[in-house]
Amino acid sequence: MSFVDTLRQWDEAVTCADRQDWSEALSIFLSIEQPNSKICFDIGCLHLLNQELDAAEKAFDCSIRKDEHLAVAFFQRGVTFYKKERYEESSADFQRAFKALRNNQLIDYKVLGLRYILYACEVLHNIALAEAQLGNWEKAQENLAKALDYKTEAKLSIIDKALQATLKQKLFKLVEFPSKTLFKPNKNYVAELEKKDYLGKAKVVASVVPQDEFSGFAPLQPQVEDGPAAPKEPEVLRALEGEAHTVLFEFAPETSNELAVVPGNIVFVLQKGADNWAYVVFNERKGLVPYNYLERLEISLGSKPAKGVARLHSRDPPSRPVRIQGLSPSSSSNTQQQITQPTDSCFVKIHFTFNFAISVPCGSPYVVLIKKISKKLNLPSTAISLSSDSRGKHLLDNMQMTDVWSRAQDGLITLWCTTKAQDDRKSEKEIYFVALHSYQSSNPEDLSFQEGDKIRLLSRVNQDWLEGQCNGNTGIFPASFADEVPTNEQ
């Protein structure tokens, strides 16, 4: 089975699962001839949802064989063993899941297509429960005490309750993975599965005048006796909404309301916002596209191909604009709506274990900024430190915020966030990689670099992807693009 066929069936299966048609989703998954690790994981989740424990165990076995670094697969197999009352194997799998976390507080699988965060404290919680089932109450208490070092504010209560239960030698509730949550295929690949119509739909017209033998794809000229008339507007163009534009650069969507286009496509702009995003229609589908990826196209009866199409690859694509306020998908008018950005707001990009952005009023004091970040991370504000550089050498406080805001460009600033647990781990030996090949990606989560660049390792996502820091930027990158620098050379 080809990769395209596998991708198509995978997308069809998760679509059925989204409709809660679990039996049909499982049937499609099982028909895939060579499933990858993520598909095997999805199959195991659906079996677990149906309480088919033996089939779930086999599916998770297959997932782990194909990717031995997939911590969440070990976690799910540990849950399966626990439900089968095989507590020793359950404890062993939870320990493997914790080892795969590599001392990180959590793994966010969103970038890999799974909307789930695996927390180290929850893994340790389940290890303690399996040990308690075996009567090893001291080991249970040790693992829960260890979990306190990895806990987040949101997970504090379950750890405390479990610890109190072990002191009374009572069992507590297992933390389970939501089996209805599945790995989904890369949305950019799925978008490419759709058949692209680069020419649009032609409208065949024929003369209704008996003496006129014309028939073809062009509009008819009116039959008048008083001299030549102005050319008639083409029917096929008059029926379309919006203004025609040529796509200059490939654009891969990152959200469900964005539209995938490639150079040469003709799109029709329905709305354009002040944030440089345009709401367009293409191939009878509507969505958002950066307006700076487009060039207006003048169309007339005798027009030649636009010059912009010939120079599609003559320059690098512009940067992706920042979304300030969404355009209204419900409007079918081609009126150019001007959407203005609030003048008193500013976007702050935060580099953490994962990257995210928040919006705060410009000139906000440090306490306002740190409070919003702590709410986003579910961590107490006292456990968070902010700095203006990637090394954490310039820690911020309320006195330094004036200087920070003065360096904001176009309403944007970038800061780095660390926690006390991360600061404690900084004393460990740092690991560096050297780039074997250049890597450029338009995805905001990825780290771009040039051949020969030195990359500081932050974490290992799985056997194929690493998270690192290079030239002041943080993100994930393919492990095959870089090689670890030997310890004696670091």
Q: Which two tokens stand for residue 400?
A: 């330094």
Q: Domains in the chain and their CATH numbers?
A: 3-167 (1.25.40.10), 242-341 (2.30.30.40), 345-425 (3.10.20.90), 432-484 (2.30.30.40)
Collapsing DSSP to helix, strand or coil, 346 comes out as strand
Collapsing DSSP to helix, strand or coil, 65 comes out as helix
Q: Provide Rg for the chain, Cα atoms.
A: 28
How many whole angstroms separate alpha carbon 479 and alpha carbon 208? Answer: 66
Q: Which two tokens stand for residue 134?
A: 């075996």
Nearest CA among 449, 484, 483 for reference residue 469: 449
How many whole angstroms separate alpha carbon 143 and alpha carbon 127? Answer: 7
Contact between 261 and 249 (Cβ < 8 Å): no
**pTM, full prediction:** 0.43
Tens-binned pLDDT, residue by residue, of the chain (490 aa): 577 788 889 999 999 998 889 999 999 999 998 899 999 999 999 999 999 999 999 999 999 998 888 999 999 999 999 999 999 999 999 999 999 888 888 888 988 889 898 999 999 999 999 999 999 999 999 998 888 888 766 666 788 888 888 888 899 999 998 878 899 988 777 776 655 554 555 555 444 444 444 444 444 444 444 444 444 433 334 335 678 888 888 887 777 678 888 888 888 888 887 778 888 888 777 888 898 889 888 654 444 444 444 444 445 667 667 665 445 444 433 333 333 344 467 778 887 766 677 778 877 888 888 888 888 777 888 888 888 777 666 777 766 777 888 877 767 788 888 876 565 555 556 889 999 988 887 666 678 899 999 999 887 777 778 888 888 888 888 888 898 887 666 5
Residue 243: beta bridge partners?
269
Q: Using the CB atoms, write b or e for 346-362: b if 16+ within 10 Å.
A: bbbebbbbbbeeeebee
